[in-house]
Structure formats: structure tokens, C-alpha cells
Structure 1
Amino acid sequence: MKSLMPYLKARTVEELWEYHTKLMQSYGFDRLIYAYTCFQSAQSLTNPEDALILTNYPSEYIEAYIGHGLFRDAPMMKWASRNVGAISWRYMWDDPDNTPLGATRRELMALNKRFGITCGYTISFPMAIKRSAAGIGLVARAGMTQNDVDALWEDKGEELEIINQVAHLAITQLPATGQSRILTPRQSEVLELVADGKSVRDIALLLGRKVATVDKHLRGARESLGVETTAQAVRKASVLNQIFIVDPGTQLS
């Protein structure tokens, strides 16, 4: 098996993702899309703004797939939200709901064909948190058929699942990609104190600030995270590793 140490030593999601994309490319998968959320409802897939999404897909594809909401009708996305394990894209268009092929799915099929996203494998990771889901789609490089991918998986599937599981676990321990600090240090601090059970008045006394100042920091945190309540802010900040952050240069004793 290829070395897993870079996953354990990575200090940023960017560093980890760069290594992972190169490693998957060495197996024949040159485009990846990973998503992780703790905000999935029982009725629908998550809002992309509430998910951590990593990909090296072309920006034009992502604008259509994510920005225009086509992902909600994507067979592999639906499968990953309901199952754990790995599945061949041979079954991509098998509809478990037996619904007619609507306009959105036809648009998605055309989009995938245009960008050569037709052969691959999807892995959905086991999650212990209710309403959470995480998975990765591995797209085979140009020239490979689904038969080639399935043969590769027969030989290397277990190895690939282990590597991607390690990558997933490492990602969930690092600050969110592209914006290591969504919150200011003070916003993180007050959310940490809320998470510890402190009231706004308690926090004001601890920090030597006015209650109105603490409220301002909490309001700023809610706005930065795109949520309505402080409880939601604490939860989302936790998912994105924006609170209780250990400085990578700090040694724990």
C-alpha cells in the first residue's frame, strides 16, 4: 500500500488534498469530488453552503453541478446519502426510486458526457453523527472504460477504500479548506465559551468586555457562518473546525 504518512502529517486541508489528488491519479482517477456535511435533512440533500466540498473538477462543471443544483438529482450523490461503502458507476443510472428520467437528470447526463465524467467509483463513509454524510466520487481518466475501472477495483478496491477513509478522517480534523479562518479569533473564542455552557453575561465577565460587545461578536460569527442562531453557529463551526483549533506549531503536553 502507498504511504499514508502524508495524511497524518498534513497541517492544512490544502496540503492533504494536493497529496490525495496526486495519489488517486496514480491509480487512474484524475478527478475527485469530496463532500462532508452534518446538516443533511431526512427529506433532502444538504445545502452546498453547509457542506465542506473539495474537488479538482473544472470550475465550469462545478458551477453547473453545484451552483445550479444538479447535484440534487445525481444518482451517485443520492446513493451516497443513503448508503455506506463503495459502488461502481456501472449502476449510475439505475434509479432506486423508479422515477421517470426528468429534464434535470437528462441535463446532468449531458453535462457529465461533455466533461468525460462517465466512468468511476463512489465511496460513502460511515458516520456516527445523525444527519451527517460524507463521500467521494473518483472519476477515471480519459481512455478508461467502466470495465477497466471495475477490474482495477477488483484488484485494488480494498486498498483504495482504506486510503480514502484515512483521507476523510484526516480532513475532518483540519480547518476548512481555502479559508482556514472563517471566523475572527475573537468570534471563535466566544463560540468556544458558548459551547462550554457559558452565558453571554458570563463571557462578558470572563473577557472583561461589555455584553453588547459579546453580542456583536456572536452576531458576526452567525453572519460569517450563514446561520440564524448561536446554537447553529456552534455546530457549524465545530463541523468546519473553526473552534477549539490547535495551532499546528503548538506541541501538546
Structure 2
Amino acid sequence: MTSLPQSQAATADLEEIEEALARLAPRGFTLGLHIRYSRPVRRVSTYPSQWIQTYTQRNLGVGDPMMIWCVMNQGSIAWHELIRQMPDPLDVMGQARAHGLVYGAALAWGPAESRSYIGAAHPDRDFTATEIARMAALLRKAHDLLDRDTALRPILVAALEAIACGMTYDQACEALGISRTALRYRLRMAREVLGAEDNPQAVRKAIDAGLLNGVSLSGLSKGLPTGPADSPD
């Protein structure tokens, strides 16, 4: 039997994790993996659609006590306890209750610079300790899966940075101290790891994954001019 490529295999495993979370959290959940530059690399939410719409339209994420707690902590906390501990100036938790999200928990795992989280809701009771433990295990597994799948070696990130800030191939080669052949190879490897068809798509995917910050200084710091990058070979 032919094995799946790493990215496809990881996606399949993540989908299984999300299905398991759906069974544990029948009122819905949000799973965010690897918050980098203020947004997760992968995010999925199964909360009621009206609540998702309200949350998005009112920009409640900027003041969500659950998100703030997850950024600042590792572990788990029940929503009723979260309300006692965290300020809620936008009344996010109150608005959630109005949409039927009364019982739930928040879980967080990973280093501060790349943290993953779960927000999970139950329709009629708090989660048991066993259910929390299961969700925590699923969160750790998903965190590790995506971390491996989005990893790029520093030399590949540097090559993408050069293209991201608008260098031509010749300028990038000079900045990185490598040959044109080596640059092409590194960009090709970066595209393969990220599952991108061309360099611009690879740059966008790397930014979305938190691997690039979107405003590269590598070329500017060397005082090099920038220009349109060559087409990939």
C-alpha cells in the first residue's frame, strides 16, 4: 500500500483529531494551532454558525477572555472559573451564553511564541476531568503534528525571505552568499515542504504559518536594492 506524503498524512491525522473533539464537545469547539504573529497556523471552529458570525462581525477576538487566558497560560480552565479570573470588557462570555454556549472549557499547550488552544462547549454540563484529559491529549498531538509538518530549515526560510522582500535571484544570491543553483534548489525545497506551486504562493503560505513575519528586513539590512524576483525554474 502506498503511503501518503507527510503533509497529506498529517492532514488526515488532524481531521481524525477534529472528529474526536466533535464527539467530546457536542455544542462545538474551536481548535487553533500554533499562534504566530497573532493568528494560528490552522484554525477550525464548529460552534453554532450564528455565534461565529457574531464573533467575527463584532471583532470579539480582540477582547476574548478565553483567548487571552490561552495566550498567557498552559493547562485547562472551565469557563465558569475563567469568568471569575479574567476581565471581559466586551462581554464576550455573556454574548456566548446568549447563543447557548454556557458550559465549556479552555485548554492551551505549547511555548508562548507558538501556542495552541482549544475552546470547547457542552450543551448541558461542565466537562468531566476525564474529558478534559482526553482533549488535552488531542491538543498535544495536533500541536506536534502541525509543528513537524510546517517546519522549514533556516536556510530555506532565508531563501524565502529574500524573495519576499522583492530581491531578484542575483540579489538574493549575493545577500545569502550562495550560487544561483543553490538558491533555486532551496526555493524548490521550500515549495515542496509548503505544498506551493510557485514562489509567491510559498511566501504566502510561510507567512500564514508564522515562518515569515511578512515584512522581511534581510535585504534592506544589507543595503541591497530590491526588484521583481525571477520566475522559478
TM-score norm. by structure 1 comes to: 0.56
Select the residue among 75, 84, 100 that pairs with 1:94. Answer: 84
Distance 1:21 1:29 in 2: 12
For each residue in 1:121-141, what CA deviation from the matched residue of structure 2 results, as whole angstroms up to 9, or x when unmatched? 1111032xx52221111211x
Contact 1:87 1:122 in 2 (8 A): yes
Unaligned ranges ≥5, structure 2:
1-5, 163-170, 186-197, 209-213, 219-233
Select the residue among 182, 194, 201 that pairs with 1:206. Answer: 182
CA 1:175 to 1:219, structure 2 compared with 1: closer, same or farther past 3 Å? closer
Distance 2:49 2:180 in 1: 44
Aligned residue in 2 for 1:172: 147
Q: CA deviation at 1:60?
A: 4.3
Q: CA deviation at 1:61?
A: 3.0
What SS does the aligned partner of 1:117 have?
Answer: coil
Aligned residue in 1 for 2:19: 22
Contact 1:222 1:229 in 2 (8 A): no
* Aligned CA-pair RMSD: 4.0
Select the residue among 190, 194, 203 that pairs with 2:158. Answer: 194
What SS does the aligned partner of 1:123 have?
Answer: strand
Within 5 Å, give how 1:30-69 maps onto structure 2.
Answer: 30-39=27-36, 46=38, 48=39, 51-66=41-56, 68-69=58-59
Contact 1:222 1:228 in 2 (8 A): no
Aligned residue in 2 for 1:228: 215
TM-score norm. by structure 2 comes to: 0.60
Distance 2:199 2:7 in 1: 33
Select the residue among 145, 151, 164 that pairs with 2:125. Answer: 145
Select the residue among 8, 11, 30 that pairs with 2:9. Answer: 11
Amino acid at match of 2:32: A
For each residue in 1:119-167, what CA deviation from the matched residue of structure 2 results, as whole angstroms up to 9, or x when unmatched? 111111032xx52221111211x3x223xx2xx22x4433432233223
CA 1:31 to 1:171, structure 2 compared with 1: closer, same or farther past 3 Å? farther
Distance 1:204 1:9 in 2: 28
Distance 2:204 2:7 in 1: 33
Q: Which runs of 4+ in 1 moved over 6 A?
A: 196-199, 217-220
Distance 1:138 1:159 in 2: 12
Contact 2:161 2:216 in 1 (8 A): no
Aligned residue in 2 for 1:120: 104
Unaligned ranges ≥5, structure 1:
1-7, 41-45, 177-187, 210-216, 232-253
What SS does the aligned partner of 1:93 have?
Answer: helix
Contact 2:22 2:29 in 1 (8 A): no
Q: CA deviation at 1:58?
A: 4.1
Q: CA deviation at 1:59?
A: 4.5
